[in-house]
């Protein structure tokens, strides 16, 4: 069943000025409940604008956004309630941190929900555990933390509201490889614990290939395609034409296949490649005896 749905969603900004632009152009989408969707697209393809519609931060110029079949703009008084159900983590979310301690900052969202103090504290602790922030850090000032830790605090601030749909706009931008993988693992952990739907905007095809089940490709404000990871990355020529790429390992495997190595065309992670290459290696070695 679809949790978030858009119908002919269009957003134009700067109407009436020389800077008028259509950022999102007639987007029809259906996001299944509990899915993990990767959103990719060239810079300026409308990804960020699109996701800001999904929790009502931007009002569509035309079209509708439906949450569980209900138009989110139908009743504006329910907008705040809706925002607690669809959590949005912006790009470089560290700038939203403002409290004296990490715990207080994570508690900002839950407090706004009007939860009881015990419930707020419980959520802060649970969420801190998901993103790997220790009790010690909870008492510190968030401004003294490292970049990666600040990012975790900001993400936890949204997760603490326990949204059914968690949307993250490039949550790993500017982090080192280990930090990236840790953050992605933490997002998976949140999904496993709560069964939430995850929408992950990313520029890293590797990250999307590893974690997402489906991929939404945006190009020039329109949906280029929305399909399973395998079906999307099989269209590597088309992706390259709109300035995107397939994961590096897929390109390596394509080149190997062109040289006669028997690999399938649905390899998107290093693990898959490793497995198939090892199988092939053992097969050929087994056939030829020892080298």
Partner 1 sequence: MLKDITIGQYFPGSSPVHRMDPRFKLIMTLLFIAMLFMGQHLYSICFGIVFCILALALSRIPVKLIWKSIKPLIPVLLITAILDLFMVDSGDVYLHWHFLKITAGGVRTAVLMVTRIIVLLAGSSLLTYTTSPIALTDAIERLLSPLKKLHVPVHTFAMMMTISLRFIPTLLEETDKIMTAQKARGASFSEGNLLQRAKALVPILVPLLVSSFHRAEELATAMECRCYRGETGRTKMRQLHAAGRDYAAMTVTLLLFTGAVAVKIIF
Q: Interface with partner 1 by CB under 8 A: which residues?
A: 16-18, 52, 55, 57, 80, 83-84, 87-88, 90, 93, 95-98, 108-109, 112-113, 143, 157-158, 161
The smaller minimum CB distance to partner 1, of residues 99 and 181, is found at 99
Going across the sheet that includes 21-32, the strands are: 21-32, 2-13, 62-67, 70-71
For the four alpha carbons of 228, 234, 238 and 240, in that order, the dihedral sign comes to positive
Of 112 and 228, which CB lies nearer to partner 1 in the complex structure? 112
Shortest distance (Å) from residue 88 CB to partner 1: 4
Residues ≥6 apart with Cβ < 8 Å to 236: 245, 246, 250, 251, 254
Nearer of residues 38 and 157 to partner 1, judged by Cβ: 157
Integer CA distances (angstroms), 226 to 166, 195, 216, 244, in order: 18, 21, 4, 15
Judged by CB, which is closer to partner 1: 144, or 278?
A: 144
As to burial, measured by CB atoms within 10 angstroms (0-12 exposed, 13-18 middle, 19+ buried), residue 61 is: middle
- Which helix (H) or strand (E) segment holds residue 59: the answer is none
CB nearer to partner 1: pick between 104 and 235: 104
- Asked if residue 246 lies in contact with residue 70, where contact means CB atoms within 8 angstroms, the answer is no
* Shortest distance in whole angstroms from residue 84 CB to partner 1: 6
CB of 145 to partner 1, least distance (A): 13
Q: How far is the CB of 168 from partner 1 (least distance, A)?
A: 12
Residue 88 or 249 with smaller CB distance to partner 1: 88
Please return the burial class of 114, using the count of CB atoms within 10 Å of its CB with bins 0-12, 13-18 and 19+.
exposed
Q: How far is the CB of 81 from partner 1 (least distance, A)?
A: 9
Output the smallest distance, CB 116 to partner 1, in A. 16
């Amino acid at each position: 069943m679809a949790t978030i749905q858009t119908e002919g969603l269009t957003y134009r900004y700067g109407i009436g000025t020389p800077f008028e632009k259509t950022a999102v152009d007639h987007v029809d989408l259906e996001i299944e409940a509990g899915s993990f969707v990767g959103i990719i697209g060239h810079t300026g393809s409308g990804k960020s604008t699109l996701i800001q519609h999904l929790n009502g931060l931007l009002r569509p110029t035309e079209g509708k956004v439906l949450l569980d079949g209900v138009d989110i703009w139908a009743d504006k008084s329910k907008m705040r309630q809706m925002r607690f159900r669809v959590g949005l983590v912006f790009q470089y979310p560290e700038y939203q941190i403002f409290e004296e301690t990490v715990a207080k900052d994570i508690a900002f969202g839950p407090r706004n929900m009007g939860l009881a103090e015990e419930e707020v504290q419980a959520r802060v602790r649970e969420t801190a555990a998901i993103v790997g922030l220790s009790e010690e850090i909870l008492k510190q000032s968030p401004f003294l933390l490292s970049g990666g830790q600040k990012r975790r605090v900001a993400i936890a601030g949204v997760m603490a509201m326990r949204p059914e749909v968690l949307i993250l706009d490039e949550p790993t931008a500017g982090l080192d490889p280990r930090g990236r993988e840790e953050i992605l693992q933490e997002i998976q952990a949140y999904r496993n614990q709560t069964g939430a739907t995850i929408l992950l905007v990313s520029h890293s095809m590797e990250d999307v290939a590893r974690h997402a089940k489906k991929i939404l490709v945006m190009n020039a404000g329109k949906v280029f395609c929305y399909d399973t990871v395998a079906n999307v990355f099989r269209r590597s020529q088309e992706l390259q034409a709109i300035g995107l790429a397939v994961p590096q390992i897929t390109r390596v495997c394509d080149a190997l296949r062109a040289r006669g190595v028997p690999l399938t065309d649905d390899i998107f992670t290093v693990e898959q490649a490793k497995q198939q290459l090892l199988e092939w290696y053992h097969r050929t070695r087994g056939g030829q005896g020892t080298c």
